[in-house]
Amino acid sequence: MSPLHQRDFQNKLLRLLTDVDFTTLVGYLEPIELPRHFVFALTNRITEHTYFLESGICSVVVRSSTGLEAEVCIIGSDGMVPPTSVLGATSVPFEITMQTEGLGYRIETATLIAAYNASVSLRVQIPRQPAP
């Protein structure tokens, strides 16, 4: 497999990283096919990986205790899934699934958190944002 170059990525977060941060993460990124209905996260279930979409769109859906649900946002090649990964959350209060097939890269969330905590520039590029 040929080495991955930052310029070859479509994901905007990965493209914005400094050379040092990209070099830190790239060796841990695993390519993955993301079929329609692929489940990234289920409500209150542990998420072990964080995903950077290269193509396709996923939906973040919240569900009430009575079963009502609403899509609260969509994420594509502009972000990461789940968006709360760097907060250190091991589970999320929503469901995230692919709406259209796509491609992406995944990284173990623990690895991403360690890199995030060790790098000021990474914390600037991937700010701690509240959950959708």
Tens-digit pLDDT profile for residues 44-76: 888 899 999 999 999 999 988 898 999 999 999
Burial profile 66-97: b = 16 or more Cβ within 10 angstroms, e = fewer: eeeeeeeeebbbebbbbbbbbeebeebebbbb
Which segments within the chain are labelled E, that is strand? 30-34, 39-41, 49-53, 58-63, 69-75, 80-81, 95-98, 102-108
Provide the phi-psi class of 39: left if phi over 0, else alpha when psi is between -120 and 50, else beta: beta
For 8, the 3-state DSSP assignment is helix
Give the three-state DSSP class for 125.
helix
Question: Which backbone phi and psi does 41 adopt, to 5 degrees?
Answer: -155, 140
Highest-pLDDT range among 2-6, 97-101, 109-113: 97-101
The pTM of the full predicted model, rounded to 2 decimals, is: 0.89
Q: How confident is the model at residue 123 (pLDDT cuts 50, 70, 90)?
A: confident
Residue of 115, 110, 104, 92 lying closest to 41 (CA atoms): 92
Q: What is the DSSP letter of 129?
A: -
